[in-house]
Amino acid sequence: MTLIMGKITKNQKISRSKIDPSLFYTLKDASKLVKEVSTTKFDASVDLAIRLGVDPKKSNEMVRGVVTLPHGTGKNLRVLALVTPDKESEATEAGADFVGLEEYLQKIKNGWTDVDVIVTMPSVMGKLGPLGRVLGPRGLMPNPKTGTVTMDIKKAVSDVKGGKIDFKVDKSGIIHAAIGKVSFSEDKIFENADELVKTIVRLKPSTTKGTYIKSIFMSSTMSPSVPVEAKFS
């Protein structure tokens, strides 16, 4: 079978030539380099891929958490607040894009998922159970551990709008997270990346043996990855 490789553009060749594959860059240097190698005409997202030395199949090694990035993600996240009428004004004032309950439960049941984050109240979670097959695979199911199931709807919405992201290790042992845009200054990219990595280090399971953070790669949309020193554990 013949594999047809996508043609590498001149700009992509130039970008790749700026990255020395034999080096592992400091987080600070990578934050600068990721801007230099971006070739897109739009404001690309900057992402971190962090491989951990954990077994995600074991419940006590499932690394997940939340972090508030100092400079946000640069994305305008669409927030749905599934709340009872007495909480609607609170959610709206905090900046939720969609506010309501039964109407949106029906829309989700019909396949609508045009949001980035859903926040709700403990009393509503029972109604979301049957919608797990729609919300779960898309990472939209609210969770008390990430602060998206709470009576303090105002804080939950404000946190999401202010740059709070949740993350968890996937089946391959990797955490993927968006930490900004290439339009951010290198200092802002670095500070966001540093905050995420330090948070993950703090969440190291007590049962984990050997190297915890195995590798880190920083990249922007459609651009080559920058290998980063994993000297954090």
Residues 92 and 157 both lie in one domain:
yes
Please classify residue 165 by burial: count the beta carbons closer than 10 Å to its beta carbon, then call 0-12 exposed, 13-18 middle and 19+ buried.
buried
pLDDT at 2: 43
Nearest to 118 by CA among 146, 141, 138: 141
Nearby residues of 50 by Cβ (< 8 Å), 6 or more positions away: 174, 175, 177, 197, 200, 213, 215, 216
Domain coverage including residue 214? 23-73+165-228
Whether 94 is in a domain gets the answer yes
Q: Which residues does residue 65 pair with via DSSP β-bridges, in sequence order?
A: 167
Q: Where are the alpha helices (DSSP H) in 64-183?
A: 88-94, 102-109, 125-128, 132-135, 153-161
Domain end call among 141, 162, 183: 162
Residues 155 and 94 both lie in one domain:
yes
pLDDT at 124: 96
DSSP assignment, residue 72? -
- The pair phi, psi for residue 120, each rounded to 5°, is -155, -175
pLDDT at 232: 63
Residues 179 and 203 both lie in one domain:
yes
Residues 158 and 210 both lie in one domain:
no
Side chain identity, residue 215: S
Whether 4 is in a domain gets the answer no
Residues of the chain with pLDDT below 70 are 1-17, 232-233
Single pTM value for the model: 0.76
Residues 69 and 173 both lie in one domain:
yes
Whether 8 is in a domain gets the answer no
pLDDT at 1: 40
Q: Which residues does residue 120 pair with via DSSP β-bridges, in sequence order?
A: 82, 149
Domain tally, the chain: 2
CATH number at residue 66: 3.30.190.20
Residues 118 and 107 both lie in one domain:
yes
Structure tokens at 142: 């609210």
Residues 67 and 92 both lie in one domain:
no
pLDDT at 222: 86
Residues 84 and 149 both lie in one domain:
yes
Residues 90 and 142 both lie in one domain:
yes
43-64 pLDDT, tens per residue? 999 999 999 999 999 989 999 8
Pairing mode of beta strands 164-168, 98-100: unpaired
Residues 179 and 66 both lie in one domain:
yes
